[in-house]
Structure 1
Amino acid sequence: MKLQTLRRGTAAAAILTLSLGLAACGEDDDSASSDTTSDNTSESAAPSDTGSSAPAEEETSSAAAGDIDAVFGPACDQLPADGEPGSLTGMVVDPVATAAGTNPLLTSLVGAVGAVDGLAGVLNDAPAITVFAPYNDAFAEIPEADLKALTDGAAKDGVDSDLATILQHHVLPERLDPEAVVGDQTTLIGDKLTVTGDAESGMQVTDGKVTADVLCGGIPTANATVYVISKVMTNAKPA
């Protein structure tokens, strides 16, 4: 599946927005008691608003904390401390490409995504995805001439380039937690990845040619779950 397909899916998902309705209070037809009714309505509205907003805020905070608590892997301690750019608490509020841009483990990946015009925006706009994100040393293993050829091709061919295909080979079109991600998965380009292991014993992902270790997995962003991996998987086979 090419990037254009993701664009259409993202646009369709954007239509399905969540709206919050406010119930209107009815007016009392009895003019003699209108002042009393108005006062009572005002007094009862305040507790109602307070009661409805507090649980929602607590639920959101609890969900975010739960996602952060599920993060695992030997390289997670290399993430910045809470409150700093690229920290878990910082990444959770940003869409995935923006969040990755603050993560010191992923600067090379961010540069590769930026070489494909429009890809960062599409990843940010996707409603729910899973990203296997090669860390910097994984890109350093690619011969410099080969990496230059990929980026030059991206500048020329954009979403039809080999680099765009390889990057989408690392992305799943749904958001999967550390338990759900295990097994055979279909990527954005329609080929397969296989994830094995678990958070306790260690996790790996392979495309049949390259097998990568998950260095820090289950990282939540606003629209994605990120698994930082040790290799760039290059055996991309578009459907």
Structure 2
Amino acid sequence: MKRTIARHSSIAALALTLSVGLAACGSDDGGDANAAEEQTSQMTDSPSDSMGEEPMSDDQPFGEACASLPASGPGSVDTMTEQPVATAASGNPLLKTLVAAVTKAKLVDTLNSAPELTVFAPTDDAFAKIPKKDLDAVLADNEQLTTVLTHHVVEGRLSPEDVAGTHQTLAGDEITVEGSGEEFTAEGAKVLCGNVQTANATVYVIDTVMMPTM
């Protein structure tokens, strides 16, 4: 019994010695580790030079035709951001024919009062691709004109990250958008200036009128 107690005492003494030795050795390392941790904390808490730079906005338009927008006043990026979509489009120099068509179809209030939309807006040149006889026929038929115009409108805002895919239009049919980054086509129509923000819509200006299947 005494041998067992003595043996246990010896083991305990050895363990205590090792523990003290390790603690002594670890005190220097711990100091270095604490210093490194403090330095890391300071680096984390202190803003880096890059953080001081103004971040790029996700709402910036992109595309070759964006350069045609006025720098200020009606039709400019800043002004359109504050206006509902039909009103904003009326100041855009690329969209005069579209605005006239929307007005004729009596869709101005409908578009302006919608909470959130994505509009694929054909340019004047896009409408000019349609033979005059066919365009005049569409403009003369209010029901058909309304269908064509609402075929270009999707409920909800679609960012460049979300716009690719198949989407239901306000006309009740679907359109398919393909691409990524800053290169997109909608039903084959090229996006010339995308991610243009208005008060209630995101606009993608396109080079071709998308005709629904009627």
Q: 1:97 aligns to what?
A: 86
SS in 2 for 1:232: coil
- Number of the residue aligned with 1:80: 70
Q: Answer whether contact 2:147 2:212 (CA < 8 A) is retained.
A: no
Work out whether 1:182 is the aligned partner of 2:173.
Answer: no
Query: Where in structure 2 are the equivalents of 1:35-54 lying within 5 Å?
Result: none
Point out where structure 2 has 5 or more consecutive residues left out of the alignment. Answer: 1-53
Aligned to 1:139: 127
Measure, in 2, the Cα distance between the counterparts of 1:80 and 1:199: 24
TM-score, normalised via structure 1 length: 0.64
Aligned partner of 1:224 in structure 2 is: 201
1:204 to 182, 185, 189: 185
Q: Distance in 1 between matches of 2:73 and 2:59?
A: 15
Write the deviation string for residues 113-164 of structure 1: whole angstroms up to 9, x where unpaired: 11112x111000000000000001000111111111112112xxxxxx1110
Task: Give per-residue Cα distances to partners, 1:71-119, cap 9 Å, x unaligned.
Answer: 11111111111x22101011000000000000000001001111112x1
Over 3 Å counting, the alpha-carbon distance change for 1:236 and 1:225 in structure 2 is farther
Q: Which runs of 4+ in 1 moved over 3 A?
A: none
CA contact (8 A) 2:97 2:123 kept: yes
Deviation at 1:234, TM superposition (A): 0.7
Q: How many residues align?
A: 161
CA deviation after TM superposition for structure 1 residue 235, in Å: 2.5
For the pair shown, the structure with the greater C-alpha radius of gyration is 2
Partner of 1:123: 111
Give the superposition deviation at 1:68.
3.7
* Cα 1:219/1:164, change in 2 over 3 Å: same
For residues 57 and 158 of structure 2, what CA distance do their matches in structure 1 show? Answer: 14
Equivalent residue letter for 2:154: L
CA deviation after TM superposition for structure 1 residue 66, in Å = 2.8
- For the residue of structure 1 that corresponds to 2:148, the secondary structure is helix
Aligned partner of 2:101 among 112, 118, 141: 112
CA RMSD of aligned residues (A): 1.8
Q: Report the secondary structure of 2:141's partner residue.
A: helix
Separation (CA, whole Å) in 2 of partners of 1:103 and 1:165: 23
User: Residue 113 of structure 1 aligns to which amino acid in structure 2?
Assistant: V
Task: Say whether residues 1:66 and 2:57 are aligned partners.
Answer: yes
